[in-house]
Amino acid sequence: MPCGGNHNEFPLTTKFRHFSRVNGMSDNDKGTWKVGIDIGGTFTDVLAINAADGEVRTAKVRSQTHDPITSIVSAYAAIRIDWSTVSDLMHGTTMATNAIVEGNLAPLALVATEGFRDTIEIGRQNRRELYRLEVTPKLPPLVPQHLRVEAIERIGPEGQVLKPLTEAEACRVAGIIDSLNVDTVAIALQHCFVNADHEKRLGEQLSSTVKYVALSHEMSPEPREFERTNTTILSAALMPLTASYLDKLQAGAGDHSNIHLFHSAGGMASVEAVRSRPLTLALSGPAAGVAAAGKICSELGLDNAIGFDMGGTTTDTCVVIDGKVQVGSDQRLAGRPVRQLMVAVESIGAGGGSIARVEGSAVRVGPDSAGSEPGPACYGLGGELPTVTDANMTLGYLNPERLLGGAIQLSREAAGTAMQTLADAFATSVDEAALGVYRVANASMARALRRVTVKRGVDARSCSLIAFGGAGPMHAVALAREFGIARVVVPKFSSVFSALGCLTAELSYAEQHTVRMPSADWDADRMDTLCRSMRDRLSTPIVAAGHAAGTIETLFIGLIRYAGQSDTVEVPFVLPCDPEKLGADFRARHKKLYGFATEEAWLFESLRTTVSAPSQHSFTDIHETGQEKSTTPISVDQCWFDASGPVTTRRFERGALPVDWEVEGPAVIEDNWSTIVLPPGATAWIDATGHLIITAGTGA
């Protein structure tokens, strides 16, 4: 499958860079801007580069979740461009994820093999919460029973036709679907991933009856019918919403702009590809930040790294191994299983806006958030509950003298008032209560980092921590110290990092197919034919986009397991595939993950193929504005780093720091949207490419 986060009465929060003109547009602007936009749940980030002269402009505006197109128009207005001046729009969005989480999905029917219509209700045996009996064991199925239709047909596990699908049966199913008055249908038949003939025939029959049809052998060509069916249902249920959005997007762009959408596996895909498989947008926003983290690793020569993206509502973590972003096919969205290629991201409900409250004899942070309306108390927009941002404000990290994003006047007094409720509950000072909230938030994020590294068999101490998002750099050094991580990188444009990821992403497509080839019965010709067929098919839209065949890269990964195992190990290989080397690489990888490996036979379960064309832009092409350099602090404040009390802390403007000049903690480094906290013992400097490098130290 192809693989692919509101502006109203809230003031426009804009930041301009390299402006030679600030009023109006010249004819030279026509069709020269390449724009990356990430629409998140709170803010829409935009970063644009003018191909004619290299000028860079960035901004943040409030997201308008009920009308994402307005968010794009607002972002354009914030950097003073419009559709007519944009040659390429690279776009990430949380639209699909929000629709799934909020249940804003189109009603649809399901067609399943006779006897299997209740698979989505039976599901798996495991409970959602093992020790909380008040929580229902399973989520209700997305398709109610009266909208599930059985087709009399059957394909066997080897692709053999056990019960033919007759023309009369296809017509009967189409008649039932027509009577249900739905515009969308998902078709998930048994073993269609080895023989898709019945699904294709039903799809052709139903296409004259309903507007949107999703076929499971296209959405998830793998076994595990429960997961495959859920994946197909979710994709089908998103089709009307996505089609409407893409129609509006193309209407806005007209003939002026080429549109590229960021997909969940970490690359760009065409509008046409996403229209037929909208679930590929499920992790569009987080995936853009992950992809950018991978590029940072390539630029700085980092083998292993952890991406740490802390926004207003959630924190997303990912791991980069051997310079490669990790992609998985077995994920959950809003508690529902999904089998499609997506970046391996661990998300938790802990962000800058996460609300802190008393729970028993402890403090709990998140998962509920103050969001942007009313926002943290220190924003002065009506929020009263204490949040992580209020804790950071109270501790002295945030600057009350600076307009956040040029629009929000922060209030330390309002933050202290909100934190007072926690201080009273524990009979302590406001500052100590804020320090407790900061530590609890860090502990939650540490658990997420531990999960994402342990699952991949990575020792976090061997990684660098790449911190981005509005709040990530405030917590990064403390988090690094907890894991024994020596180096933290806060990249340039860190607060609009996902938009930068969109702008610098590769055009790529990926697909995964079941193979089930035993090592003892290796068929070299079949493997070679399958690999080349997938490569050629996936390369077609990239060539159509104007990339020469010689510039397209292909990555083959085998998902391999021992007989009797449930989980597979990802093993990359090249053509022609050498089974001896493949087996040796599998055993080495298995030993690294599980601590052992044997010489017994193995099974090549599935083949994953990714094709990609290089991005037109790299990080080195995009520079921050030239600012007069200075080593003089912009202020000196009192900040809390531990319970011993406040310490004198210098505050610096990031853009003014000279290259390679070292800042020793305690210090705070800030720009319009990001604040980097350097506790005592940490050291930071700006490298030649504009990234901020931090040696975490121990703080001892």
State the Cα–Cα distance between residues 65 and 70, nearest whole angstrom.
9
For residue 464, what are the β-bridge partners?
305
What's the rounded mean pLDDT across residues 265-276?
Answer: 83
Per-residue confidence band for 541, with pLDDT thresholds at 50, 70 and 90: confident
pLDDT tens-place string over residues 20-53: 233 334 434 457 898 999 887 667 889 998 888 8
* Average pLDDT of the residues in 66-76: 86
pLDDT tier for residue 439 given thresholds of 50, 70 and 90 = very high
Is the pLDDT at 287 greater than 60? The verdict is yes
Q: What is the pLDDT of residue 2?
A: 35
**For the chain, how many helices (H) and strands (E)?**
16, 36
Residue 578: per-residue pLDDT: 95
- Whole-number average pLDDT of the chain: 85
Instruction: Using a pLDDT cut of 90, give the percent of the chain over it.
Output: 43
The shares of helix, strand and coil residues in the chain, as percent rounded to the nearest 5, are 35, 30, 40
pLDDT in tens, 469-521: 878 899 999 999 988 899 999 998 888 888 888 888 777 888 888 888 999 99
pLDDT at 16 over 60: no
Judge whether residue 616 has pLDDT over 70: no
Determine the average pLDDT of the residues in 240-253. 90
Nearest CA-CA partner of 117 in 81, 137, 97, 147: 147
Q: Please, is 526 exposed, middle or buried when counting C-beta atoms within 10 Å of its C-beta (0-12, 13-18, 19+)? A: exposed
Contacts of 427 (CB under 8 A, 6+ apart): none
pLDDT of the residue at 645: 92
Do the beta carbons of residue 86 and residue 33 sit within 8 Å? yes
Comparing 384 with 19, which gets the higher pLDDT? 384
Q: What is the pLDDT of residue 405?
A: 60
Q: How far apart are the first and last CA of the chain?
A: 51
User: What is the tens place of the pLDDT at every residue in 102-122?
Assistant: 788 899 999 999 999 999 998
In order of 153, 207, 214, 588, the CA distances from 204 in angstroms are 16, 5, 11, 46
Quick one: DSSP state of residue 565?
-
The whole-number pLDDT of residue 169 equals 96
User: pLDDT at residue 399 above 80?
Assistant: yes
Pairing status of strand 602-613 against strand 553-562 = antiparallel
Average pLDDT of 510-538?
A: 91
Q: What is the pLDDT of residue 646?
A: 94
Return the amino acid letter for 518.
Answer: P
Residue 234: in which H helix or E strand, if any? helix 225-253
- Output the pLDDT for position 30: 53
Give the count of beta carbons closer than 10 Å to the beta carbon of residue 561: 17
What single DSSP character describes residue 387?
Answer: B
**pLDDT, mean of residues 83-92:** 88
Indicate the SS3 state at residue 100: helix
Question: What value does the mean pLDDT take over residues 663-687?
Answer: 92
C-alpha span between 442 and 455 (Å, rounded): 20
User: What is the full DSSP assignment across 514-564?
Assistant: EEEEEGGG--HHHHHHHHHHHHHHHHHHHHHTT--GGG-EEEEEEEEEETT
- Residue 173 confidence class, pLDDT cut points 50, 70, 90: very high
What region does 256 belong to: left with phi over 0, alpha with psi -120 to 50, or beta? alpha
* For residue 619, pLDDT beyond 80: no
HEC profile of 309-353: EECCCCEEEEEEECCEECEEEEEEECCEEEEEEEECCEEECCCCC
> Given this model, what pLDDT does residue 19 score?
31
Q: Are 169 and 202 in contact (CB under 8 A)?
A: no
Give the confidence band of 7 by pLDDT, cuts at 50, 70, 90.
very low
DSSP code per residue over 432-477: HHHHHHHHHHHHHHHHHHHHHHHTTT--GGGSEEEEESSSHHHHHH
The sheet carrying 646-653 orders its strands as 635-640, 646-653, 667-670, 675-678
For the cut 50, the answer to whether the pLDDT of residue 571 exceeds it is yes
Question: Which among 44, 34, 35 has a CA at the least distance from the CA of 75?
Answer: 44
pLDDT per position as a tens digit, 344-366: 887 777 778 888 888 888 888 87
- Least confident residue range of 12-16, 154-158, 174-178: 12-16
Tokens of 161: 């036709």
Q: What is the pLDDT of residue 333?
A: 78
Whole-number Å distance between alpha carbons of 284 and 269: 11
Quick one: three-class SS letters along 205-230?
HHCCCCCEEEEHHHHCCCCCHHHHHH
Strand 327-333 versus strand 154-155 pairing type: unpaired
Average pLDDT over residues 70-93: 89
Strands 258-262 and 154-155: unpaired
Residue 200's pLDDT is 95
Q: Quick check: 172 pLDDT over 70?
A: yes
Which pTM was predicted?
A: 0.77
Q: Which residue has the tokens 């929020």?
A: 383
**Hey, which of 164-178, 269-283, 404-418 has the most confident mean pLDDT?**
164-178
Q: In the predicted model, what is the mean pLDDT of residues 537-556?
A: 84
Q: What is the pLDDT of residue 25?
A: 40
Cα 15 to Cα 531: distance, rounded to the nearest angstrom: 47
Return the residue matching tokens 């580069």: 49
Distance between CA 462 and CA 247 in Å, rounded? Answer: 46
Q: Per-residue pLDDT averaged across 324-336, rounded?
A: 78
Distance between CA atoms of residues 241 and 274, nearest Å: 12
Polymer length in residues for the chain = 700
* 201: nearest Cα among 228, 167, 225, 175: 167
Give the pLDDT band (50/70/90) at residue 533: very high
Helix (H) or strand (E) holding 62: strand 56-62
Per-residue exposure over 645-669, b if at least 16 CB sit within 10 Å of its own CB, e if not: eebebbbbbbbbbeeeeebebbbbb
User: Looking at residue 407, what is its pLDDT?
Assistant: 67
Measuring CA to CA, which residue among 654, 646, 656 is closest to residue 679? 646
For 73-79, the CB contacts below 8 A with 24+ separation are 73/252, 74/6, 74/7, 74/12, 74/44, 75/7, 75/37, 75/44, 75/45, 75/46, 76/35, 76/46, 77/12, 78/12, 78/13, 78/14, 78/46, 79/14, 79/16, 79/46, 79/48
Domain parsing of the chain, residue ranges: 13-100+244-280, 106-238, 368-438, 509-614, 635-695
The CATH superfamily assigned to 13-100+244-280 is ATPase, nucleotide binding domain (3.30.420.40)
Please report the pLDDT score of residue 621 as a whole number: 65
Angle at CA of residue 200, ends 277 and 606, nearest 5°: 65
Residue 378: phi, psi to the nearest 5? -70, -15
What pLDDT sits at residue 256? 77
